[in-house]
Each structure stands twice: as structure tokens, then as C-alpha cells.
Homo-oligomer: A and B are copies of this chain.
Amino acid sequence: MQTIETHVLDNGLTVALEPMSGVESVSLTLMVPAGMASEPEDRQGLSGLLTEMVCRGAGGLSSRAHVDLLDRLGVVRTTGSTLRHFRLGATLVGDRLSEALGPLLDMAMSPALSEADFEPSRQLALQTLDGLQDDPQHRVMLDLRRVLFPTPLGRSPHGRRADVEASSVEDVRGFWERRCRPGGGVLAIAGKLDPERVLERVSGLVSGWTGRAEPVSISPTAYGGPVQSVEKTSQVHIGVGLEAIPELDEGVWCQRLAVAALSGGMSARLFTEVREKRGLCYSVHASYAGAREFGAIMAYAGTTPERAEQTLDVLSGELVRIHEGLEADEFARAKTGMKARVVMSGESTSARASALASDLMVLGRTRSLEEVGAKIDGVTLEQVNAFLASREAGVQRVVTIGPEPLAVPERCGG
């Protein structure tokens, strides 16, 4: 039986703690509202620059001293920016948590953001942008988000080249000052921990950190932008997306199970129809991306120029055909697969910390594994099929990167 404690501190930071038995490690996820969607329109890339710079000194320690300290404590950590949030993740041996909390939280609370570290950080950001040229598979999905998601949710975590070039260290400092605030943020910790002691330690560490970031306004229009890029790639990279229900909609489990029937295992429809039966491409998958105010289904296929038209046609066709409903067998398989993944995620401290933080951000509360398992169990085939029948297939957006543009099926506005 899991116990999850949730506390809202005086400064508005929500802290969720889940002690796990039988583990030696502990993981934390910190999320504060400094994501890509909160960047100024003409400074897209600031959130990425910030995630790089917070690794270069914090809490009065130089870059060198801070990095050495966390490595001496054996902390494996990552920083990143999502649509809405600055995200810090860390995993370490539980006995070191008390010592590591200070230098980890300092990365969000009091990063050095020094002049000297700005230029190397910007150079890395520019190189990451340039490196995308050599990774069309990743790039096509960034393009798809841009044409599919409402403004500014379709932004790239890597920003725009001109904006990164125009950015200054003052821009990063201002962005941090406005957005890296505890109000509305969450800190989730799961694994080997003593809740009372950790809560006391966290409360003490963050007491001087205050403020709340302004809400970000979302416009219902998407960015638009280029749809088919003609480039000298060897393969054709195809992204197909369509709008789906938001994460808070009550039909979300029906939506997830339908996507699992499309792409949840080797027996799923896309794998079978595109890959196994026709040998059309080596890589094909679809996933549901849900946020508080928006949801989407995004599918990818990579194939040869000769097979690209047929691949797009089959992929796009399956996204429509799913609305005719699932068979009992495939529904049962999708359900079992989804439940198995829930069980497996419960054995990873980092997966648990991440799920707690994400639940708090989207739902405003944490969920136990039992609750998630029961939700999946409770969905019936009739519910999924009624959900699918009630939803129109919707307009599909297609983006491609390849040696020539594809003829887009009519259902995709072609």
C-alpha cells in the first residue's frame, strides 16, 4: 500500500513525498513555470538557455564547485524545459538526499547565471539547433508540433536561431526572475526517504524563495509554418497529427486505450499494418500527448522515398479506421499492456517522482498506482467504442522531410 503525502508550503510550492519500501535510491522532480510557452515572443530559446546555465554554479558556489559537489554525492541529474515548465530531475542513493537537496534546489532558487558562462551556454544552444539538421527524425516531430499545437504550445525546446543569437545574459536573468518562482510549482520526491525529515529540510531550504509567475495565455490558433521540407535526406520522415481531447477530459482513458490499440505493442494496428504485413517501414509509432488545455495524437513513420506515399496512406487511414471501434481481443491486449507498464513504473523511483509531479501539475493532485490501475480496469470496450464513435476523426496535419513532397490524402486537407 502506497502512502503519498502532499503539502503546500507558505511560498506556494507543493511538495509530494512517496516513501517506497525495498529501494535504496531516491528521485526528485522539480517543476516551476519557466517552460517554452512562457518565453517572450522574440526570445524563443530562453528556457533552454536557462536549463543549461543552472548547471553552471548556484547557491554561491562556482560552476566547478557546484558540479563537483553533486558528483561527489553521486547525483545523476538532468534539466530540461517542457511546454510549461522548467524541469529538474535527480536520482541518488537515499542516504545522501539530505546533503544533496540544498545544491539541487539552488539550481532553481539561486543559479549564478554569470556573464562568463553565458557565451559557452549560447554556443551549445546554437550547436544543438544546428545539430537538428542531422537528425530529421527528431526534427519532423518538432515541425508537427508547430503546425498542430495552439500558440505558444507548439514551440521547440531548442528555440529559434535568431532569438538565441539575439539573447543576452540579462534576458536569461530576467526570465529566471519572472518565471522560476515557487508559487504553482511542485517538488515530488519518491524512494528511500523519511517524509518528516525531508519536509522539514525542504521547508527550511526554500523559505527565502518567493513569488508566483504570471499565467501564460494560450491562443487557439496554431503556428502554421512549413509543412513539407524538401531536403537531400536518404529516407522520408513523416509526421501525422490530429487534435485530441485534453488530459482533464473524462474520456482520456478511452483515448489512451485507443492509442494503445494503434501503437501499444507488437500486435497493435500500426505495427501490424505498416510494418509486419507490408514491410513499409522500420519505424512507426503513435502517441497521445495530453496537457491541461490541449491534447493531440502524433504519429511518426520513416521509410524510403519509393514507399513514402503508401506509408502515409496506410498510416493516415489507420488513424481514421480506429473510429470504427476496437475488437474485444485488441482491447484486452491494450488494457493488459497498459496495466503492465503501470506496474513496472511503480518500481522506478524516477518514474514515480516524475508521475507525482506531472499529476500535480495537470490534475492538481497525486494519484496512487492503485488508482491508475483501477481507472484502466474500469474502462469497458463499450465505453471506448462509444467514445471513438462520438468523436470525428478530425483533420489530420501532415509534415514531411524528404527528397520530394508527398501527395497528401484528402482527409489531411490535401
Contacts and interface: CB of A to CB of B under 8 A. Distances in A.
Interface of A: 21-25, 55-56, 63-64, 67-68, 70-77, 91-93, 119-124, 127-128, 130-131, 133-137, 232-235, 237, 265-268, 272, 275-279, 281-283, 302-304, 329, 332-333, 336-337, 339-341, 343-344, 346-349
Counting chain B CB atoms within 10 Å of each CB, which of A71, A72, A267, A349 scores highest?
A71
A129 to B, nearest CB: 9
Contact of A278 (B75, B120, B137, B348): B120
A134 B233 contact: yes
B340 A74 contact: yes
Nearest to A275: B124
A163 B283 CA distance: 22
Contact of A234 (B67, B73, B134): B134
A402 to B, nearest CB: 10
Given A71-B337, A267-B67, A329-B68, A133 B235 contact: yes
Contacts of A346: 24
A78 to B, nearest CB: 10
A347 B349 contact: yes
B266 A55 contact: yes
A24 B68 CA distance: 37
A56 B135 CA distance: 30
Given A70-B266, A128-B282, 12 more contacts: A25-B344, A55-B266, A64-B267, A68-B267, A68-B329, A71-B265, A72-B329, A74-B339, A124-B282, A127-B281, A133-B233, A348-B348
